[in-house]
Amino acid sequence: MTEKKNNTALKILTGILAVALVALSIYTIKFYNEEKENKEILQKEKSVIEDELNELIVKYDEAIQENEVMDQDLVNARDRISRLLDSVKDNEANLVLISRYRREIGNLKEEKTRLFRVVDSLSAQNQMLSTSLDSTSVALQQRTKLSDSLKTTNQSLSTKVDKASRLKVTSLKGEGVIVRNSGKIVENDNNRRIDQIRTCFTITANDLAEAGEKNMYVQVYNPENELVGDGIVIQHEGGTMVYSASSKVYYENEELDVCILAEANEDKLLEGTYKVYVYNDTILLGTASFTLK
């Protein structure tokens, strides 16, 4: 009787083990298939990212061929995209890298929108100047008896065009600083010690510019193309832009020295080269770079 019971128990145990083995096999196969499917999805996402970066490079190449004034800024932006594309190609796809690349592509697309808006503005101004010069040329041909007077008018128009009416900046400089409790500001290039980014520049004298209160904005990008600062969102007529810091200044057509401080988040203060952009409303006035060690 005891032997019979032992045989029965052995059969039951064998059955349980067989069921467990089958369940384990099913789980292993399912896990393998899911892992394979996830890898395929990540690889497809990587290919999509490569295609988007290649498309951005093509658009920048076209813009560089058509524009001369903004060539260097466009070339720098295209080079950053090329470096990111090389990184995507060299690294195996995983969720962390895909998320990082998606974030960087978002920053690059925002920068493209900003730069191309400036390019479009310059192209429109050039078209207006060309139309104005064509009109002047026709008037000169039709009124040969008043040639001396028209020459004087044309010279006056050319002078105004050369001066332009929008603001211009010089001596643009970005730097890391420490703000003491006393209010004293000390320059420092150690990324672990600074607490703010200071951007200083001089608005040049311009008799043709409209005097009054001006909205000045600053964008600071770290070596990873992340915006450093307060993240000020401004709704302009042409769309929304995000800035690191802002300041209102009163301009009286004379030279005006301006410094703007941007709060610096510790996690975004990296070693390397930083890029600074200065705007009057949506108009880009100048760019500069600086390095933190």
Domain parsing of the chain, residue ranges: 2-115, 124-161, 166-292
DSSP 51: H
Average confidence (pLDDT) per 10 residues, the chain, 293 residues: 63 63 54 52 67 72 64 68 66 59 66 67 63 60 58 56 75 92 87 90 92 94 92 87 93 94 88 94 92 91
User: Which residues are bridge partners to 200 per DSSP?
Assistant: 173, 259
Residue type for position 26: I
Residue 155: φ, ψ to 5°: -65, -40
Give dist(CA 150, CA 153) in Å, integer. 5
Residue 186: φ, ψ to 5°: -120, 125
pLDDT at 32: 47
CATH class entry, domain 166-292? mainly beta
H-only helix segments in 205-288: none
How does strand 283-292 pair with strand 272-280? antiparallel
Q: Which residue do the tokens 């298939």 mark?
A: 33
